[in-house]
Structure 1
């Protein structure tokens, strides 16, 4: 029997049942020959947009490309023009799914998916969550996300939450007083899973640990916690699993595309090969072999409304392949392309390196709830943190020494204690940023 969550999508014109059946066929083709399936679908979507999308055709012809292998790599700036200019023939803003990226990269834009493509996205999401025992039509979700504060945008999110069995836990104020009310909701409702930004869920886990509460003990229906949108460090995973009392499952996705990688029950960050083609490229846009780090470039294999062909999502990562299980997986997500720190010596390093090194010192200080690092000059960094009491001079010195030991000497750090950290409009927390 089809549930309300599925029906709501069908009523809105998204052919979910067809997408679910088609997805099963795609999976069979992938099992038979994944490389051939992806080569064929990539060629088909390229051909479609060359015939039906004048915007993309102009970019392709200007690059003098001849096929998919040398097709131009698109970036977010390529899409910062009116959506109507970017839609394929036969599609308008009235007959597609329209949304906006979160803007966490600093380059937000409006995008579109045709309704079949968006239905495929939901079919794949349902499949992946289902592998962990989650049924969107039945199970209640505790959703730790942001939400528009007023007007029609807020109303739309509230309606979607109701239809999708979601209860919203806004992340803009995560003070102990607010988290106390969140805990009370778990004591009264049969939540099956939590889904939200890593930093927000980690903050809730720290609150639970401070109270000596394991969430599963007060909400016995809990099955899993799903983290998204921000880095999940292994030490944080282990901490959250103790605080929540259930497995932590990490996902990596993009609203304009689909789920990109999702942890399966075996703990492998499996790449979505059914609806996406994921490549790792170097600075010359050459495909790198498995095991080497580079920029993540993605092709949406079924979006006919809007061309996401060899689209540089702005992240860096490493792909690998398990011969035994024949699984392509994301071995490592190394941070955003625009979060690279350039040091006085000329050395470049992922900004999250600073965060990770600092975290190795701070995580033993229970008084620090969360922190971010901002590079304010080539050799200057500011650490903003929320804590029950200020860091001591000794603790600050340990943090500086650790960063200099792992990176280079001569770096200058300032520390600013805050009552709350600045989050994006969507509620995400950016652990490292370049602010000059």
Structure 2
């Protein structure tokens, strides 16, 4: 058992039991995949109908059929978390977190501890496809600003054998320091936001550096949270000289898809059920692009049943138990350029909105537009106008993450403009040559 497992066990997450369960799931899938899926779908729906008042109210006909169940969106879940918890669960005995995601729809969520341990079991299984789990990691994720949350993340880094790079500054000076760090550490893989890692790769190419040459222990790079386009994947391979692995997940759900050694983006069919639906919530044929709608098959604390994640894609069956994710659309971000010359990824605003949002569900959506080098417009949908104190908190968070002397303009709207695909991009820059 490694340090990560000890940490989970210490915090009462039944990781050993979860790993044994995952082995059993694999065995069941091999015997009869379709029966396993249908049985688990029935179990999780019936559990929440019996034990979750929030979900029970959504189902008019208790003699339900799967295709008649409502398709949930984030807006349906933007009520206080306590009102969505099942019987026998409280905020004290679940894993809880909050997210605005790349789409800008903030809300809180919970998983029962066994379900969260299953998530870690899936992560272990997938990263071990490439012999990476528990190995020295160069981590390109954000870090909260408040002391308690920051220290928690740094403690996780310590237990998880990883070093976290500051993704809020991707200026040339910062990137040169990253190169120095790789020269002096035996990292085995990189893991983090696609946009940040792409910026690093472009810098390396401009300096005629191949990362593997200065850090020979490197084996792979795992990118997540944003779209990895084919051109960017080739760029990463050129700059790093290692295997590039594509990951797709959602913190409120699980790891959704992970690339195997054959470059197949394998869906997580062990703990999730993934559907592709049209805009009228009708199931599409295999290979057709539509809305990705996902069910968490084991989360008893908080129902995520037929949950529309906000992305579009297609799936294809490749054998009796495996599906691959094809044609994923969404999750690309712009870069933020600032008066000082500092450059930061658009996902910076994920941490800003997460740091100031409340569990009341008052702020429904947030979109940030950079209109000038020093000016940002914050558009939001809310039941009422933000109070001055709330605006001051948002301004403080934005200035803390970026830099001082920026102008912030607030605009409350009944709805925010979306892309043709229905996606709400959280950050957009109107600066030319961004």
Q: TM-score range by the shorter chain?
A: 0.7 to 0.9
Which region of structure 1 is more displaced relative to structure 2, 298-307 or 212-221? 212-221
Q: CA deviation at 1:28?
A: 1.4
- For residues 352-363 of structure 1, the aligned pairs below 5 Å read none
Q: Any gaps of 5 or more consecutive residues in structure 2? A: 353-366, 370-418, 420-424
Counterpart in 2 of 1:271?
267
Query: d(CA) in 1 for partners of 2:336 and 2:157?
Result: 32
Equivalent residue for 1:110, pick from 108, 119, 126: 108
Write the deviation string for residues 135-165 of structure 1: whole angstroms up to 9, x where unpaired.
Answer: 31xx111110111123211111111111111
Q: CA deviation at 1:68?
A: 2.3
Query: d(CA) in 1 for partners of 2:258 and 2:351?
Result: 21
Query: d(CA) in 1 for partners of 2:368 and 2:39?
Result: 38
Counterpart in 1 of 2:86?
88
Q: CA deviation at 1:199?
A: 0.5
Query: d(CA) in 1 for partners of 2:31 and 2:85?
Result: 34
Q: CA deviation at 1:16?
A: 0.6
Query: d(CA) in 2 for partners of 1:300 and 1:423?
Result: 25
- Counterpart contact for 2:186–2:217, Cα < 8 Å: yes
Counterpart in 1 of 2:202?
206
Query: d(CA) in 1 for partners of 2:303 and 2:240?
Result: 41
SS in 2 for 1:297: strand
Please tell me the root mean square deviation across aligned C-alpha atoms, in Å: 2.5
Closer/same/farther in 2, CA of residues 168 and 261 from structure 1, 3 Å limit? same
Q: CA deviation at 1:430?
A: 10
Query: d(CA) in 1 for partners of 2:105 and 2:205?
Result: 37
Closer/same/farther in 2, CA of residues 198 and 223 from structure 1, 3 Å limit? same
Q: CA deviation at 1:420?
A: 2.8
- The TM-score, its normalising length taken from structure 2, stands at 0.78
SS in 1 for 2:191: strand
Q: CA deviation at 1:99?
A: 0.5
Counterpart in 2 of 1:17?
16
Equivalent residue for 1:175, pick from 162, 171, 177: 171
Query: d(CA) in 2 for partners of 1:169 and 1:102?
Result: 22
Write the deviation string for residues 33-75 of structure 1: whole angstroms up to 9, x where unpaired.
Answer: 22211111011000000000011000112x7772223111111
Counterpart in 1 of 2:348?
424
SS in 2 for 1:296: strand
Q: Aligned pair 1:334/2:329, yes or no?
A: yes
- Counterpart contact for 1:74–1:309, Cα < 8 Å: yes
Query: d(CA) in 2 for partners of 1:7 and 1:82?
Result: 32
Query: d(CA) in 2 for partners of 1:64 and 1:51?
Result: 10
- Counterpart contact for 2:226–2:330, Cα < 8 Å: no
Query: d(CA) in 2 for partners of 1:313 and 1:321?
Result: 21
- Counterpart contact for 2:292–2:310, Cα < 8 Å: yes
Write the deviation string for residues 239-280 of structure 1: whole angstroms up to 9, x where unpaired.
Answer: 101111101000000000001111011110000000000000
Counterpart in 2 of 1:411?
none
- Counterpart contact for 1:104–1:424, Cα < 8 Å: no
SS in 2 for 1:191: coil
Counterpart in 2 of 1:368?
none
Query: d(CA) in 2 for partners of 1:124 and 1:385?
Result: 34
Q: Whose relative contact order is higher, 1 or 2, with alpha carbons under 8 Å and at least 6 apart?
A: 2
- The TM-score, its normalising length taken from structure 1, stands at 0.78
SS in 2 for 1:122: helix
SS in 2 for 1:149: coil
Counterpart in 1 of 2:51?
52
Query: d(CA) in 2 for partners of 1:385 and 1:274?
Result: 38
Query: d(CA) in 1 for partners of 2:347 and 2:287?
Result: 33
Q: CA deviation at 1:166?
A: 1.4
Counterpart in 2 of 1:239?
235
Query: d(CA) in 2 for partners of 1:222 and 1:3?
Result: 21
Query: d(CA) in 1 for partners of 2:198 and 2:14?
Result: 36
